[in-house]
């Protein structure tokens, strides 16, 4: 394989959004030896300037449009709030910059379509940040499927739970999001990735109406059955109902795949490593919540250890940088089209949960 570089002297990166995920992305970029320029942006100037100082960024600004149009910038990571992805992503694409957009690609499907059309027109890579693809256990499932060890997939069962504290942080910054669009989306992406070309044709879903429904109008949990062309079926669940003091720092997941030749099961609940302390331990995603019992490895992006970050988000960010630097499509990163498909499925699930009806998934009919 050629080791030639499209950008010989390094990669210039702009990170839009300096919240928790944007901060982590910027810190990872700062540590990558191929990054020659790093700029950060946030609508809150103090947040941008603080991050710039922390990761030795070359520049910071509150103006995303100005930053993405700088000549030093080759690619853009959009880590703004979920309902504010479209404008900076479109500006980056129209400036000819490759872009990685945190999931969900957008909240509105029409905006997602516009981004895909623009990326095609301007000839740039567009990726969706589905970090869980880079977890070793899920990569192993994908490899087993590719090697034929599972055979033709017949059914899938998967679930994901967030603590109430993490869910509240999510919905407080993006009031229009839901357990399906924000949380189940990880399961849907893995499911469609594993299905390798099979498309879900309908969704039937239901959900619980608890505290989040009363406060925000969003279901507290969503459970769905997806029917695929060819007869495959999947049942997925996402819950925001577990208490604040639940020891998973971010999420607990399970994923099981059944096929004609085999089955694979991942219990991603992290109960193999537990710490209990008299001293409070702030949660990585919710630092205002003190934990006294925690499960190691349950922070989905990964963890800091001895001043360095390890985990799926680092590997995903490195894959994006390498893709831009070598100008080649990465084989693991979720594409913009993948992100659009997951959004379409998630919206169908929400519609079914709200109406009680079986909802056809448009592209498959």
Domains of the chain: 11-124 (3.40.50.720), 133-306+344-360 (3.30.360.10)
Question: How far, in Å, CA of 185 to CA of 37, rounded?
Answer: 32
Give the pLDDT confidence score for residue 95 in this predicted structure. 97
Task: Assess whether pLDDT exceeds 50 at residue 51.
Answer: yes
Question: How far, in Å, CA of 37 to CA of 319, rounded?
Answer: 17
Other Cβ atoms less than 10 A from the Cβ of 271: the count is 14
Give the pLDDT confidence score for residue 8 in this predicted structure. 67
Question: How far, in Å, CA of 282 to CA of 207, rounded?
Answer: 30
pLDDT band at 287 (very low <50, low <70, confident <90, very high): confident
Question: How far, in Å, CA of 333 to CA of 119, rounded?
Answer: 16
Give the pLDDT confidence score for residue 364 in this predicted structure. 41
pLDDT mean across residues, the chain: 93
Burial label for 342, CB within 10 Å (0-12, 13-18, 19+), is buried
Supply the DSSP symbol for 182: I
CA distances from 305 to 289, 309, 365 (A): 20, 6, 48
pLDDT band at 365 (very low <50, low <70, confident <90, very high): very low
**pLDDT tens, position by position, 117-157:** 999 999 999 999 999 999 999 999 999 999 999 999 999 99
Question: How far, in Å, CA of 363 to CA of 341, rounded?
Answer: 9
- Mean pLDDT value across residues 254-264: 97
Question: Rounded to 5 degrees, what are φ and ψ at 136?
Answer: -55, -40
């Amino acid at each position: 394989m050629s080791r030639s570089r499209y950008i010989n002297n390094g990669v210039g990166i702009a990170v839009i959004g300096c919240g928790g995920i944007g901060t982590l992305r910027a810190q990872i970029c700062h540590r990558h030896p191929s990054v020659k320029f790093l700029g950060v942006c946030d609508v809150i100037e103090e947040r941008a300037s603080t991050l710039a100082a922390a990761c030795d960024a070359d520049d910071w600004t509150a103006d995303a449009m100005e930053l993405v149009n700088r000549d030093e910038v080759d690619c853009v990571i959009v880590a703004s709030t979920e309902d504010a992805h479209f404008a900076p992503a479109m500006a980056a694409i129209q400036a000819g910059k490759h872009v990685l957009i945190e999931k969900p690609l957008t909240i509105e499907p029409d905006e997602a379509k516009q981004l895909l059309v623009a990326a095609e027109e301007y000839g740039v890579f567009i990726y969706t940040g589905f970090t869980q693809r880079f977890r070793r256990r899920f990569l192993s499932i994908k490899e087993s499927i590719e090697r034929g060890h599972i055979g033709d997939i017949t059914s899938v069962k998967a679930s994901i739970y967030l603590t109430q504290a993490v869910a509240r942080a999510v919905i407080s910054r993006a009031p229009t999001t839901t357990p399906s669009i924000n949380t189940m989306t990880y399961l849907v992406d893995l499911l469609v990735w594993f299905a390798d070309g099979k498309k879900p044709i309908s969704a039937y879903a239901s959900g619980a109406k608890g505290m989040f429904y009363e406060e925000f109008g969003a279901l507290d949990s969503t459970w769905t059955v997806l029917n695929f062309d060819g007869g495959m079926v999947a049942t997925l669940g996402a819950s925001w109902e577990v208490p604040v003091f639940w020891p998973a720092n971010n999420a607990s997941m399970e994923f099981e795949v059944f096929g004609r030749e085999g089955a694979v099961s991942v219990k991603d609940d992290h109960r193999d490593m537990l710490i209990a302390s008299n001293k409070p331990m702030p949660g990585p995603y919710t630092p205002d919540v003190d934990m006294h019992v925690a499960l190691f490895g349950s922070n989905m992006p990964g963890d800091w250890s001895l001043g360095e970050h390890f985990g799926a988000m680092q590997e995903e960010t490195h894959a994006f940088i390498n893709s831009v630097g070598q100008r080649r499509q990465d084989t693991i990163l979720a594409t913009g089209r993948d992100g659009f498909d997951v959004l379409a499925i998630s919206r169908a699930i929400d519609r079914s949960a709200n109406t009680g009806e079986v909802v056809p998934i448009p592209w498959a009919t």
